[in-house]
Amino acid sequence: MTQAARDAPVSETIPSLPRRQAIFYSMGAIASGVYNGFNLAVLSIYLNGFMGPFLQGYLSNTNTIDGAVIQPLVGRWSDRTTSRFGRRRPFIAVFAPISVLFLIAIPYLHGAGRDLRVPLIAASIILFSIANNIAADPMKALLVDITPERQRPRFNAVISMVSTGAQLGFVLFALLISIKKSNTPVAIFWAAGGVMLLSYILVFLGVREPALAERSAHREQRLPLRQYLIDLRQFGQAQKLLISFFFLWTGLNPLVVYLGPFVKHDFHASNSAAYLVLLVLFGLVAVFAYPWGLLQKRYGYRPMITVGTVLMMAAAGVALVIHVYVLLFPVAVLAGAGFSATTVLNYPYLSTLVPSSKIGVFTGLQTAFSSIAVPISTGIATILIDTVDYRAIFALQFVMMIADLIILWRIDETRAVAEIAAVTRMDLEAPSDQTNPP
């Protein structure tokens, strides 16, 4: 390998993603969409009948606090895995079926005694989320392994469209099957589990990691833990993005979790009417996904993420003052368009601030920061709901997103390039450390 090749950004040596691989990888986005739709729409309404606001908000989420510890470790582990199936796919093969088993168990635990029902359902939901995230985060990192940097924004936009389309379809299915029913049908749980499992299987069977990913995994294995931790501290700009992500989700989490209950409580709407507002929100996330990818190419990541965040802040401001059900739909349009920008652009932006060899652990750290935001935002939202009402969550959203934007605009992208180059060069030159087992 020439010195020029050694110094070149690793992501630039990845070939363009073939269409067949892109299609199979996109199948995993269906699992992600169903998982999000189930958690943010179905679970929030299902738990609303027998759990208080805090447990309802904490459990009706895509991440729980355990992810703050587990996901960075999973990311580090996947960065170093050198199995015959690659470094990401083994996690999908093992943990996706486990996640589905805990998902399907949830409605059957509802029949347990009064004292056992809540803890058993809570435990099953938490284990379902843990196992899914252990499968999903390496799958997310796989996107960076198989795509060059120039291709990621638009491909991630396509992935977001597929994911939110699946989310939309699943919520629509839940809406139709719940018409004239006061409870959540068991068929919703089975449908979610079946679709998720099939989607993960297609990713495992159809996606192959490039040789570069295997070489990166071997380099990460040779890197002593002490040097690895020193390396992670070097990426100050990525750390700023993670902090901004924490504030984003501290504001966004109450919106996506409590929007359904807010519609039911403040507008005296049915389950189906609440699902309809969520459908519009998720639908707009899908509709705007690809345009955000195109706009990023012209204007850059931060300006477009900022525009999306401002749209969500505008939606929060309108939601604070409306009292007519039909006006919820313009709010959903604004929120969906803004949410789409952060969904499409945040992760590809993170991948430009760190080397692809360490994207697994930074994917885990991104999940960790959102996991830490969950109990904090849920606790604040619970206090606001109890002392004011559901409408107060929009004020929380507005304030947290101001903090998000302040941190976001402190990122120095030129310095990030230098950080990546310095650490990548050290990793390539690092000698094998036989005293540090893989």
To the question of pTM greater than 0.85 for the whole model, the response is no
Q: Looking at the DSSP assignment, which residues form a beta bridge with residue 83?
A: 86
113: left (phi over 0), alpha (psi -120 to 50) or beta: beta
pLDDT of residue 42: 84
Distances (CA, A) of 53 to 140, 237, 255, 430: 31, 36, 13, 51
Q: What is the C-alpha separation between 429 and 193, in angstroms, rounded?
A: 45
307: left (phi over 0), alpha (psi -120 to 50) or beta: alpha
Q: What is the C-alpha separation between 90 and 87, in angstroms, rounded?
A: 7
C-alpha count within 13 angstroms, C-beta hemisphere, residue 200: 33
pLDDT of residue 8: 41
Nearest residue to 274 (alpha-carbon basis) of 262, 284, 260, 257: 260
Residue 382 in tokens: 């619970």
pLDDT of residue 433: 45
Phi first, then psi: what are they for 377, rounded to 5°?
A: -65, -35
18-429 falls under which CATH superfamily?
MFS general substrate transporter like domains (1.20.1250.20)
Nearest residue to 124 (alpha-carbon basis) of 34, 198, 187, 46: 46
Q: Give kind and range of the element (H or E) at residue 236.
A: helix 236-267
**Domain assignments of the chain as residue spans, ordered by start:** 18-429
C-beta atoms surrounding 202 within 10 Å: 18
Cα-based torsion angle of the residue sequence 309, 312, 318, 324 in order, rounded to the nearest 10 degrees: 170
Angle formed at CA 144 by CA 141 and CA 145, multiple of 5 degrees: 90
Q: Give kind and range of the element (H or E) at residue 154.
A: helix 152-178
Q: Give kind and range of the element (H or E) at residue 85.
A: none
Intervals of the chain under pLDDT 50: 1-12, 432-438
Phi first, then psi: what are they for 351, rounded to 5°?
A: -65, -20
pLDDT of residue 1: 33
Specify whether the CB–CB gap between 57 and 378 falls below 8 A.
yes
pLDDT in tens, 361-371: 888 888 888 88
Q: What is the C-alpha separation between 72 and 76, in angstroms, rounded?
A: 6
C-beta atoms surrounding 104 within 10 Å: 18
pLDDT in tens, 308-335: 999 999 999 999 999 999 999 999 999 9
Q: Which residues contact 324 (CB under 8 A, 6 or more apart)?
A: none
